[in-house]
Amino acid sequence: MLERFRTFWTRVLSPVADALLRLGVSPDAVTLVGTAGVCAGALIFFPRGDLGVGVLVVSAFVFSDLIDGYMARASGRSSSWGAFLDSTLDRFGDAAIFGGLVLYFASIDDTPLAALALYCLVMGSVTSYARARAESLGMQAKVGVAERADRLVAILVMTAFSDWFDLPVLLTATLWVLAAASTITVVQRVLVVRRQAPRSTPA
């Protein structure tokens, strides 16, 4: 479902990407700046309790994930290196978002929610690792109820709404849903890989 939104926003942002290419900006530079912006927005504003402002800053830089991919394709610079860099830096961005929430909950002495946000951070990384490791072994594991884009949109939207409408229950509920969905996704990917993995032959 979110792929349709990705296509829409890519078309909207393509003039910006084309302008950057004309200025000689590389896709890798956009990836690095975008990641730095996401990390700064989450780690500066979230711990201070400025959740809504933090989401706006993070969201602005999240669009770089669409721009750099378009720039790489349009300029003919698509490469394994670019894909590796983009995927690796995505992990930093995701960790900063949930890490910022961990620091926020810690600052208001809400240890249970800090622990829950930390669990979501860890499981998000495990979810991505399970797929990457499966693909490195020649198998597929692109299954599950909690893809990265879904997790990112859900946490950003509900974090903003919980702040703007003074409804912290929205953020709490979202973290619980993401924790459960990430856990289910990891289990699904493990089972899918288990079915694909060749059986060992007894000696």
30 by DSSP, 3-state: which? helix
* Structural tokens at position 32: 């690095």
In 22-169, the DSSP E strands lie at none
What is the overall mean pLDDT for the chain? 87
User: Which residue numbers are catalytic?
Assistant: 90
Model pLDDT for residues 26-48, shown as the tens digit of each residue: 888 888 989 999 999 999 999 99
Q: Are 49 and 107 in contact (CB under 8 A)?
A: yes
Instruction: Give CATH for domain 2-195.
Output: 1.20.120.1760
Confidence band of 2 (pLDDT split at 50, 70, 90): very low
Tell me which of 141-145, 173-177, 181-185 is least confident. Answer: 141-145
CA dist., res. 75 & res. 70, Å (int): 8
Model pLDDT for residues 92-119, shown as the tens digit of each residue: 999 999 999 999 999 999 999 999 999 9
Q: What are the domain boundaries of the chain?
A: 2-195
State the pTM of this model. Answer: 0.86
Backbone CA torsion sign across 182, 133, 29, 76: negative
Greatest mean pLDDT among 64-73, 82-91, 126-135: 126-135
Task: Show Cβ contacts of residue 4 under 8 Å, excluding neighbours closer than 6 positions.
Answer: none
Mean pLDDT calculated for residue range 10-19:
73
Phi and psi torsions of 160, nearest 5°: -65, -50
Q: For tokens 């912006």, what's the residue?
A: 37
**Pairwise pLDDT comparison (172 vs 18), residue with the higher score:** 172
CA separation (Å) from 96 to 80, 101, 130? 25, 8, 20
